[in-house]
Amino acid sequence: MTTMPRGGRRPGAGRPAGARNKRTQEMIERLDRLGLDPIAALARLAQHAEAEGNLDLAERAWRGLLPYAGPRPTPPRAASPVAPAIPLPETPQSVAAPAIELPSWFQPGRVR
């Protein structure tokens, strides 16, 4: 009896990379037939809200457009993982305290 492979990647299986699903494709075609551009409408809304002084609505509209503006900026990388040592000024806390003379009966670590 021969066993068939189960699971894993198979050539030609699944939707091709970059292909849209049916619902997304239908929505795009519908908007095209109606002559609507949601991105342009959102930009007009942001401009109008900003002109009217409704900055909360304008900010939300502009934020909605950010994914279409370009790639997200990456945070800057540190030049070196170890920062150079900075000499600190001498303070009263950093000066060593004078030695204290302990009584002869004192033994560290012993509890009475």
Q: Which residue has the higher pLDDT, 95 or 104?
A: 104
CA dist 46 and 57 (Å) reads: 7
Structure tokens at 87: 């000499």
Whether 112 shows a pLDDT value over 60: the answer reads no
pLDDT confidence tier of residue 79, bands split at 50, 70 and 90: low
Q: Decide: 25 and 18 in contact? Cβ < 8 Å.
A: no
CB half-sphere exposure, 44, CA atoms < 13 A: 6
pLDDT confidence tier of residue 30, bands split at 50, 70 and 90: very high
Sign of the Cα torsion 48, 50, 56, 62 reads positive
Nearest to 43 by CA among 75, 27, 66: 66
Whether 17 shows a pLDDT value over 90: the answer reads no
CA dist 65 and 93 (Å) reads: 55
